[in-house]
Each structure stands twice: as C-alpha cells, then as structure tokens.
Structure 1
C-alpha cells in the first residue's frame, strides 16, 4: 500500500514539473512569428480572388 501511495505522489510531482517546464518553453504565436519587415495589408480591396473568378454555380467545382 505504501508503494502505491509513493508511486501516486511521484507521478503527481513529475506531472506538475513537466507542466511548468512545458508552459515556460512555449511562446505565443504572435511572439514567435512576429515580423516587422513583412507586408501589412490595411485594406485588401474588393478583388481578392483574381480576374478568372466564376460565381458559385457557374462552372465552379461542386456547384
């Protein structure tokens, strides 16, 4: 019975330590992938699909 209790306590301790280490190792995506040299689009405009766009139902796949 004592060995089961020690095993449970040890498992709990390992889990808590692993959670703390993994939380510190991760960075949010806005920090990991931030770039000041990339293109920033404030107003993308109206034509986002190109000149050959067909409305749904007019030759579109599955329509």
Structure 2
C-alpha cells in the first residue's frame, strides 16, 4: 500500500502528467495500479475500487 497504491492515489489527486497522457505512460501506470489493486482488493476494497475506477476513466 505505502509503496505503490497510496502514491498512485496521490498522483491522481495531484494531476500527474501520466493521468492525462495519451501515450504508453498512461496505460503502463494504470496497468500496474490495477494489478496492485486486484492483489489487495479483499483487504482494501475502497482503495482498490477507487484506483480501478480512476484507471478506467482516464484510459485513452
């Protein structure tokens, strides 16, 4: 959580460049955050659901 998903949430909140990019950085970051979210979804459903939803909404 503290090494990947929480920083990912902060990046979305800060409007990091990759969250709006129309190139591979967007897809790569979303893919990693989604895989991490799925791995912890049972224990952290709120965080996982939030990141997956943001990923789907910002995928080009």
- TM-score range (shorter-chain normalised) is 0.3 to 0.5
Structure number with bigger Rg: 1
Richer in helix (by share): 2
Question: TM-score normalized by structure 2?
Answer: 0.33
Question: TM-score normalized by structure 1?
Answer: 0.31
Structure with more relative contact order (C-alpha pairs < 8 Å, separation 6 or more): 2
